[in-house]
Structures are given as structure tokens and as C-alpha cells.
């Protein structure tokens, strides 16, 4: 044990160097040139955009990323002392919840009103969506004809007995799809749909969205429920493990009871106790600008909220689609019911 100091010393030196940086970032107070962001998004595109924003405006963006429920809990615990100015989540349900709990403050901006369509933002301006994703059906092009997967209901047909792939119901993507169905069709019809899908499962739900797509590549199933941008990423991936699925997959934008394809948004709201409101609004406006919207579309395969900004080339091939214009706050209101319906249907 004589060698202990020899090991400990470099460690201590190393960490001593780390100290100043850690301290410096701790107290981002009511400085005029910062905006403090709590975000559930971890994408490189977001990092690039924040850097661009700082370049253009001189406003530094401080970030904490974590799960959205954890971030909301933190906001709640911090109360009026919160340093956060802007909350970004990848789920409209959570944005609605944040508004309902009084964590957000309404803001008005002509730029935002112009850039973000009304159905993708809170009527009072508590939050604004800046990108959309669609919950779509990916199918094996060699076995399934496009007209066989026109609607979500198609997944419950005997044609797909033992062929449906989906991830577990612990995940918010499936929960919000089911919440949208409950909003449109009520819990009973939705339960029947869930049971129909469960009866058609190729296997117990497991893995990620991407894993469902890869499973199609292995012939473990013919249709999978997945988010649009995961398909986009798979189709542009150079990962050898993903090549087999790449050539097989087609995409359908299924219809939900005549309302179009279920979409959810990534969006942001200004925190009630913000100390840098002007900067927060500026960042929001920047996220809805052409420049940012293009990067979201190309870099991250998301659907831009702003009309007129083109979607990623690889997704264009699957044609235009009609997005469900359901008031997105409904997703939050029905999320708990969705969890119960999924549980009752035996969707693990």
C-alpha cells in the first residue's frame, strides 16, 4: 500500500484542474448575456444550434439535459429559485403538464406566431412546438403491400397475426399514440385496438424503436411501429449491422380514424420564474427560424414545424402525409388513461 500516494497524486492534480470550470458554470445568475435551458433533447443538432445562437446574438446557452419527468421535478423543487429560463421537452404531454402545474409563463411573439402553426403551440403561448415526429408503420417491402398498412387499425387485422413488432408500453411514444386514440375514439375502442395489436405481436415488446426496424431486417416480423426520424436515421446509417434492414424497409403514414397520422412535438416553454425572459424568447424564436428548422430537418430527420421548410430528402421519398391536428394538450390529459389501457390490453 506504499504506492497509494503515487496513484492518488495525479488523480488529485487532475481533479484540481477540473475545479475552476465546474465552479464557473455553477452560478449563471441574472446575467444579461445568458439563457439557461433544461432540455430533454440530447441531439447534436441542438448543440450545434445553441452554438450558432451564441455566435449570432452573443447570448451564452447553459444546458442541463435529463429526462423530462426529472426536469419537471427539479423545476418544482426549485420553485422561485430556479435558474432555468427555458424548458425543452420531446413530448407535448409533458409541456401540457408543465403548464398545468404552473411552471411556465405565457409569452407573445409575432415571430413565433408567424412561424409555428396554431395546432403546434399552446393557445395562451405557454409553449411552442418546433419540430414534429410521426408515429408511423415501417413494413417489409418484399412481403407487405403499401395498401395493407393504410391505417393503424390495419395492424389488428388477421393478415398480420404474429407479424407486428413494437417496443414496450413503458415508453412515452406508444403512450402518446394511445392517448391520441383515446382523445379521438374513446377508451373502449382504443382498448380493443390495443388488444388487437397485442394479439398480433410477433414477440414480447422489447428493445428500442430502432430494434423493431432491425427485427424486420431479420425477418422476425413484417410491420413495426416506430418514430419517423428513427427510420430516417436507419436509412442513412453506415453501420454494417443496420444494412440488412435498410434495403427492406418501406414507410406508411397511417391514418387514425380519418384524422391523419399521429404526431407529437418537441417544444419549449419559458419558465415562470425566468430571470432572462427576453433571451429565452429570442432562443425560442431562433429555434423556429428557417435556419434552425432546416437543421432539425436535415440533421435530425424531424419534420419542421414551420410550413415551407423542406423535410429531409430520405423522408421525402415516402410521400406527403396528413398530420393529425388534435390539440396536443390532449395528449397530456389522456396519458394516464393510455397507460391503463395499454396495461389492460396486456401490452408489456
Partner 1 sequence: MAGIARLLQGPRPYIGVVALLLLAPILVVVSAPLHAPATEWTYVRTHILPAYLGETLRLIALAGTLAIVFGTSTAWLVSACDFPGRRFFRWALVLPLALPTYISAITFAALFGPTGLLSDRLRAALGVDIDILGPDGLAIVFALMLFPYVYLPARAAFSAGMSDVLEAAKLLGAGARRRAFRVAFPLARPAIAGGVLLVCMEVLNDYGAVQYYGVHTLTAGIFRSWGGLYDVGSALRLAGVLLLVVLALALGQRLLKRGGLRTAEGRALRRVRLSGWRAAGATTWCGLLVLFAFALPIGSLLGDTLATWNAAAIADLARPVVNTLYVGTWAAAITLVVAVAFAFAQRMGYGGLTRPASIGYVVPGAVIAIGVMGLAGPLAARTGWVLIGSLTLVIYAFSVRFLALAGQPLQAGLSQQPRMLDEAAHLLGASPVRTFLRVNLPLLRPSLLAAAAIVLIEVVKELPLTLILRPFNFETLSTRVFDMARIEQWREAAPPALLIVACGLVPVLLLERWMERR
Pick from 43, 173, 253, 296: which binds partner 1 (CB under 8 A)? Answer: 43
Residue 144 or 231 having the CB closest to partner 1: 231
Which span (51-59, 108-116, 131-139, 164-172) binds partner 1, by CB under 8 A?
A: 164-172
Query: CB of 154: closest distance to partner 1 in angstroms?
Result: 24
Query: CB of 168: closest distance to partner 1 in angstroms?
Result: 4
Q: Looking only at residues 252 through 311 of this chain, which bind partner 1 when binding is defined by CB under 8 A?
A: none
Pick from 18, 123, 162, 310: which binds partner 1 (CB under 8 A)? Answer: 18
Decide: 217 and 250 in contact? Cβ < 8 Å: no
* Nearest C-alpha neighbor of 253 from the set 138, 160, 175, 334: 138
CA 206 to CA 185: how far, in whole Å? 27
Please report whether residue 6 would count as binding partner 1 according to CB under 8 A: no
Which span (7-15, 122-130, 183-191, 278-286) binds partner 1, by CB under 8 A?
A: 7-15
Q: Looking only at residues 47 through 66 of this chain, which bind partner 1 when binding is defined by CB under 8 A?
A: 62-66
Please report whether residue 340 would count as binding partner 1 according to CB under 8 A: yes
Pick from 5, 6, 11, 55: which binds partner 1 (CB under 8 A)? Answer: 11
Query: CB of 292: closest distance to partner 1 in angstroms?
Result: 18
Pick from 113, 211, 277, 327: which binds partner 1 (CB under 8 A)? Answer: 211
Q: Looking only at residues 71 through 130 of this chain, which bind partner 1 when binding is defined by CB under 8 A?
A: 71, 73-74, 76-81, 83, 97
Amino acid at each position: 500500500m506504499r504506492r497509494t500516494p503515487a496513484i492518488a497524486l495525479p488523480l488529485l492534480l487532475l481533479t484540481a484542474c477540473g475545479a475552476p470550470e465546474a465552479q464557473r458554470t455553477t452560478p449563471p445568475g441574472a446575467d444579461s448575456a445568458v439563457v439557461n435551458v433544461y432540455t430533454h433533447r440530447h441531439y447534436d443538432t441542438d448543440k450545434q444550434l445553441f452554438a450558432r445562437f451564441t455566435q449570432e446574438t452573443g447570448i451564452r446557452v447553459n444546458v442541463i439535459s435529463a429526462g423530462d419527468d426529472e426536469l419537471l421535478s427539479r423545476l418544482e423543487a426549485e420553485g422561485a429559485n430556479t435558474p432555468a429560463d427555458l424548458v425543452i421537452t420531446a413530448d407535448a404531454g409533458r409541456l401540457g403538464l408543465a403548464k398545468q402545474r404552473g411552471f411556465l409563463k405565457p409569452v407573445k411573439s409575432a415571430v413565433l406566431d408567424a412561424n409555428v402553426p396554431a395546432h403546434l403551440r399552446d393557445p395562451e403561448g405557454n409553449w411552442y412546438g418546433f419540430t414534429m415526429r410521426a408515429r408511423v408503420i415501417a413494413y417489409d417491402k418484399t412481403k407487405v403491400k403499401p395498401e395493407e398498412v393504410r391505417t393503424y387499425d390495419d395492424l389488428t387485422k388477421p393478415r398480420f397475426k404474429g407479424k407486428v413488432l413494437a417496443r414496450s408500453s413503458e415508453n412515452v411514444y406508444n403512450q402518446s399514440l394511445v392517448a391520441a386514440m383515446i382523445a379521438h375514439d374513446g377508451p373502449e375502442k382504443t382498448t380493443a385496438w390495443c388488444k388487437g395489436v397485442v394479439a398480433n405481436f410477433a414477440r414480447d415488446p422489447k428493445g428500442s424503436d430502432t430494434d423493431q426496424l432491425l427485427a424486420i431486417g431479420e425477418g422476425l416480423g413484417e410491420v413495426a411501429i416506430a418514430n419517423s426520424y428513427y427510420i430516417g436515421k436507419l436509412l442513412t446509417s453506415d453501420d454494417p449491422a443496420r444494412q440488412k434492414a435498410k434495403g427492406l424497409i418501406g414507410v406508411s403514414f397511417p391514418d387514425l380514424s380519418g384524422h391523419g397520422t399521429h404526431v407529437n412535438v418537441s417544444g419549449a416553454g419559458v419558465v415562470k420564474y425566468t430571470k432572462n425572459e427576453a433571451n429565452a424568447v429570442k432562443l425560442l424564436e431562433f429555434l423556429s427560424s428557417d435556419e434552425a428548422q432546416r437543421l432539425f430537418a436535415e440533421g435530425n430527420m424531424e419534420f419542421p414545424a414551420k410550413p415551407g421548410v423542406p423535410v429531409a430528402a430520405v423522408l421525402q421519398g415516402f410521400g406527403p402525409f396528413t398530420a393529425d391536428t388534435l390539440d396536443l394538450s390532449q395528449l397530456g390529459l389522456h396519458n394516464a388513461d393510455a397507460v391503463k389501457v395499454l396495461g389492460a390490453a396486456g401490452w408489456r
